[in-house]
Chain A
Amino acid sequence: EAQVTQNPRYLITVTGKKLTVTCSQNMNHEYMSWYRQDPGLGLRQIYYSMNVEATDKGDVPEGYKVSRKEKRNFPLILESPSPNQTSLYFCASSTGALSLQFFGPGTRLTVL
């Protein structure tokens, strides 16, 4: 089944404790992206990747890192999480920047 998977689905952590949210797609998509969803603000793009080893900032990249070492995986790294990063995070992938995106199920992160 074609899908985008994210792990973990739920995470409660404390300020400053490094964490990684994994994202993997099995559709051989070149384009991948991370978003955060907050009430009243909609979806905001954090980082995107046009292909392997090609990543770029979205609208809200501060406090986040990404890497794209292989096509299927696009992990989101929070080196030192803070409470304002408490949010619902979505990973997405598509064949290209103008194509429809397939979204993962979301990761609900709480930073205390």
Chain B
Amino acid sequence: AQSVAQPEDQVNVAEGNPLTVKCTYSVSGNPYLFWYVQYPNRGLQFLLKYITGDNLVKGSYGFEAEFNKSQTSFHLKKPSALVSDSALYFCAVRDSQTDSWGKLQFGAGTQVVVTP
């Protein structure tokens, strides 16, 4: 069974400071991991994904995420946050060891608030 947790409901950061949004997962096989962002009153947009290969994944809008197998984590990071990064961020996982290949599990979401 697959599951994903985003331990923080909200992250507050000042503009220009580093931003980290945490995500941990649990799978039976290998994880396929995704980050999506939902800007206010808009649909969800893809940021990045980890399937295999380099543990550091670079994505859209200057975001990156680090896959850590030993800690079962896939934290999203941005070196210098912008006010426009204020949004709801979702981590999602798919298990390689599953009969339900199309099943995708999302976390509860983390609200990011970047203050000027």
Contacts and interface: CB of A to CB of B under 8 A. Distances in A.
Interface in A24-43: 31, 33, 35, 40-43
A45 interface: yes
B45 interface: yes
Given A42-B90, A103-B43, A97 B102 contact: yes
Q: What class of interface size applies to chain B in its complex with A?
A: 20 to 34
Interface string A41-61: 111110011100000111100
B22 interface: no
A90 interface: yes
B94 A98 contact: yes
A43 B94 contact: no
- Range of interface residues on chain A? 20 to 34
Given A43-B90, A104-B43, A49 B108 contact: no
B38 to A, nearest CB: 8
Interface string B22-59: 00000000001010100000111110010100000000
A33 B101 CA distance: 12
B110 to A, nearest CB: 10
Contacts of B108: 40-42
Interface string A94-112: 0001101111111000000
Nearest to B110: A42
Interface of B: 6, 32, 34, 36, 42-46, 49, 51, 90, 92, 94, 100-109
21 contacts: A33-B102, A41-B108, A43-B92, A43-B109, A44-B106, A45-B104, A45-B105, A45-B106, A48-B102, A48-B104, A49-B102, A58-B103, A98-B32, A98-B49, A98-B51, A100-B34, A100-B46, A101-B46, A103-B44, A104-B43, A105-B42
